[in-house]
Amino acid sequence: MGPRLNHTIVWCRDPQVSSSYLARTLGTDAPVAWGPFLDVVMANDVTLAYLEYEGTDDEIPSQHYAFLVTENEFDQVFGRITSNGQRYWADPALRDEGSINHHDGGRGVYFKDPDGHLLEIITRPYGG
């Protein structure tokens, strides 16, 4: 077995707000506290560990997180995004607003979390 991603830190202004947003939007279990973190665990056991940003800049450096979902899960997540009136895009450059993409025969969409991180759901891995 080779290396596998286990966890990553997601910098945020308010860990409760941001981790709850992700869990609610993706339909995962609620965040769990672990030390200073609020963890959201994905189905493949990768943990997104939310931690309050204590940098000197006003803005948190934007990160990108892509989530592979089933077609049914895409419908559910996309439904939550659109029912909240949230902006979404078909592309990472945020030029094609209000559309989804169909790369590799699947569906994909980009949207932002409360801290401006660019989130993405896709139904097919790119290039696969």
pLDDT digits (tens, 9 = 90+) for 12-51: 999 999 999 999 999 999 999 999 999 999 999 999 999 9
Q: Is the pTM of this model over 0.85?
A: yes
pLDDT at 128: 67
CB count, 10 Å around CB of 48? 24
pLDDT 10s digits, 83-126: 989 999 999 999 999 999 999 999 999 999 999 999 999 999 99
Yes or no: say if 20 and 31 are a contact pair by the CB < 8 Å rule. yes
Q: How far apart are CA 72 and CA 49, in angstroms?
A: 26
Is the C-alpha dihedral spanning 83, 89, 95, 101 positive or negative? Answer: negative
> Which domains does the chain show, CATH number per domain?
1-55 (3.30.720.120), 62-128 (3.10.180.10)
